[in-house]
Amino acid sequence: MTSHIHRTHRSGWLRAGVLGANDGVLSISSLLLGVAAAHMSSSEILVTGFAGLVAGALSMGAGEYVSVSSQADTERADLDIERSALQNDYDAEHIELRDIYIRRGLDHELAAQVSRKLMAHDALGAHARDDIGITEALTARPLQAATTSSVSFVLGGIVPLLAGILAPGEILIPIIAAVSLVFLAALGAFAAHAGGAPIFRGAARVLMWGALTMGATGAVGALFGAVT
């Protein structure tokens, strides 16, 4: 028997982790490049970087928690509707589930038998999965998403921050940009590999948007530095 490796169960933490790390690299590198291009002092650049790291990590965590909690609230509301429907009109819910299986290709008799068996085992679970589309692998987990996003933001943001601390002043901008782009490419390749997608495509799209974001922020910093 051929075994298969499925990756859908990773989608929750993988999405939050990649989003957090990507945002950490882009936010901190862009902040550093913007203030460096505006001719700020080394101490001002580092203060900006550390402040951005703390603010970004907390913001990512809060944002993920709020948004995924909203998803969880919607899931709970839908499950309450199904629970009420099962209590008040069980037969109609059986017919609804049967018709779903008919539309998926089962004949009438088999669809009715499958519907009865699954509802006898776990009626709410069967409707959650096949009627609403809520599964254990994809269900909303606010705390997991918030923690993963915050931690990954810090891990991503530390990369350009360390580059800014260690790089000599005269080559600060190109070092931060180069290190950040290399890390972004590696992050995109890792995310693509973990999700079973083409590695080159994953790395290329992250690189493209990263370069555009850092370039735009650096240009804004240079513009303000020229007029102040």
Helices (H), the chain: 11-37, 42-88, 90-103, 108-127, 142-166, 172-195, 199-227
Tens digits of per-residue pLDDT, 93-142? Answer: 999 999 999 999 999 999 999 999 999 999 998 888 888 888 776 676 88
Write down the pLDDT at residue 1. 44
Write down the pLDDT at residue 228. 58
All structural domains of the chain with their residue ranges? 8-79+143-227, 85-132
Write down the pLDDT at residue 222. 83
Write down the pLDDT at residue 50. 92
Identify the DSSP state of 136. T
User: Tokens 């037969």 — which residue?
Assistant: 91
Does this model's pTM top 0.75? My answer is no
Write down the pLDDT at residue 142. 84
Distance, CA of 153 to chain centre: 11
Helix 42-88 vs helix 90-103: angle between axes, to the nearest 10 degrees? 120
Write down the pLDDT at residue 223. 84
Helix 142-166 vs helix 11-37: angle between axes, to the nearest 10 degrees? 30
Q: Could you give phi then psi for residue 135, rounded to 5 degrees? A: -125, 160
pLDDT, mean of each 10-residue run, the chain (228 residues) = 46 68 90 88 88 92 88 88 91 92 92 92 89 74 85 92 87 91 87 78 85 87 73
